[in-house]
Amino acid sequence: MTAVRAALLMALLVAGAPARAQPADASDVAAPLRPGVVAYRAGDLGTAEAVLRPLAPGNADAEAWLGAVLLDRGLTREAVQMLQHAANAGSAEGAHRLALLYAQGADGIPRDDARALELFEKAGAAGHLRAEINAGMLYLYGRGTAKDLVKARAWLEKAAASNDPYALYALGRAMEESEGSALADPVRAADLYKRAALQGHTFAALRYGLALAEGNGVRKDLVAAQPWLLYADKYGVPEASLAMGDLAASTTNLRDKAGAIKILHTATTWYEAAANAGVAAAQFKLATAYLAGTGVARDPQQSMRWYTRAASQGMPVAQHALALFLIGGATGAPDMVEGYKWLLLAERSGFPDSKAVREKLAEKIAEADRKRAEDLANQFKPQPERPLEEMPPRLAPPPSIRP
C-alpha cells in the first residue's frame, strides 16, 4: 500500500473552500451579518453586497465579508483594500482572507508565505478555525517558516478540538510524521482519520482504509478496509482505486490458478480506473501488468503507453522502465536518444539503477546523440495529471459503515 501513500499529494488547505461544513443559517457569524453571509454562501452576491455594504463602515467583520463578496465579483482592488482595512481593525475573518491571498499569490498580491503565516496566526489566536488549520499546515510543510512539527500540531490540536473534519484530517497528517522529539503516532492518526471519515471527509476515508489494510495504528483487517476504500472511490478519490487494486493483488492464492487469474484481473481493473484518472503509481502498475500479461493479455504497446504517461508525470521508476523499452526497441526500432534522456531524468531523481545503465549506453551512442538527449532532459518539465496539492474535498454524505 506504500504506492498509494506515495501517490497522495501533499495537503495544503490554504487554497481551499470552506474548512468545515458551514451552517446554512450562518450561525457561525454575528447576527447582523447573517443575511449577507447566507446570501454569499448561496452564491447570491448581489444580495450579499446589498446587506453587507451598509454595515461595513462600522463593522470590521462585515467589511471582511464584503471584501470576499467583491473578490468573487472581480472587484479586486476595492476588495483587497477592504480586507487589509478589516484585518488591521482586528477582524479575524479579514486577516484570514487576506492571508489566503498572500499564500496563493492571488489578486495582485505577490505570494508571501511568511506574511500569510503571520496573518493566519493572528486570526487563529482570535479563534478562527480555518486560520488555525492553515497556520498548522504551513508549519507542517515549512511554508513561510522552517518546518516545525510541534507548532504544527499545536495549531491543529486547537482546531481539532471543535471536531471539525478538516481539522481532524490535517492533525492526522501531522501525527503520521516525526521530527526530533515529536514522534509519529499512527494510533492517534488512524483514530483522527476515522472520526473525519465518519463526517464525510473522503481523503480521511482513504487513509483510514489504508491504515486498516496495512495494520498501521489499528489492527490489520483487509475486510474492514474495503468499505472505506470503496466509499472514497465512490466520491472521487482515484487513489482509492489504486488501493483496491493492491488489496486484490495481495489476496492472490497462487495455488488456485483459476482463482488467481480472476483476482489479478480484478486488481488490474482497479489499476486501470486509477490510471485513467491520472494516478501515476497506478499507470506504472498497469504498464507492468501489460508487460507481464498479468491480469490482462500481454500488450507491449499498451505497456509503453502507460509507462510514458507515468514517466511524463515525473515518476522515476517509470522513466527508467520506459528507457529500457526504448533502448531495447520493445515496440519498434530502438531509440537511444529518448532512452538516454529518460535514464538521465530517472538518475537525477535518484532512481538507483539508472546511472549504471546510462553510463553503459553513453559508451555506445554518438556524442551528438548524447548531447541531444541531455538537451531534451534539460528541457523536460513534469506534466502532472492530478493537482499538485490536495484540495480539501467537499464533504460527502456520511458513510453507512459501522464504526
Say what the pLDDT of residue 257 is. Answer: 76
Per-residue pLDDT reduced to its tens digit, 241-295? 999 999 999 887 667 777 778 999 999 999 999 999 999 999 999 999 999 999 9
Mean pLDDT of the residues in the chain: 92
The fold of 2-182 is 1.25.40
**C-alpha cell at position 347:** 538518475
Question: How would residue 354 be classed by pLDDT, with cut points 50, 70 and 90?
Answer: very high
In order of 75, 142, 353, the CA distances from 27 in angstroms are 27, 34, 59
Please enumerate in sequence order all residues whose Cβ is within 8 A of that of 397, keeping only pairs 6 or more positions apart, or say none: 200
Closest CA to 321 of 339, 296, 334, 298: 339
Per-residue pLDDT reduced to its tens digit, 160-196? 999 999 999 999 999 999 999 999 999 999 999 999 9
Say what the pLDDT of residue 14 is. Answer: 39
Say what the pLDDT of residue 17 is. Answer: 41
Closest CA to 285 of 247, 251, 253, 258: 247
What secondary structure letter does DSSP report for 257?
H
Q: Which residue in this structure is represented by grid cell 483496491?
A: 244
Question: How would residue 213 be classed by pLDDT, with cut points 50, 70 and 90?
Answer: very high
Q: What percent of the chain has pLDDT over 70?
A: 93
Q: Where are the beta strands (DSSP E) in 275-319?
A: none
Rg of the chain, C-alpha, whole Å: 25
Domain boundaries, the chain: 2-182
Q: List, in sequence order, the alpha helices (H) in 53-164.
A: 60-72, 76-88, 92-104, 113-125, 129-141, 149-160
CA-based torsion, 67, 73, 78, 84: positive or negative: positive
Tell me the CA end-to-end span of the chain in Å, nearest whole number. Answer: 22
Report the alpha-carbon distance of residue 382 to residue 384 in Å, rounded.
6
Is residue 24 over pLDDT 80? no
- Long-range Cβ contacts of 269-276 (<8 Å, 24+ apart): 269/245, 269/295, 270/241, 270/242, 270/244, 270/245, 271/241, 271/242, 271/245, 273/233, 273/238, 273/241, 274/7, 274/238, 274/239, 274/240, 274/241, 274/242, 274/245, 275/306, 275/309
Closest CA to 72 of 46, 102, 95: 46
Phi, psi of 286, rounded to the nearest 5 degrees: -65, -40
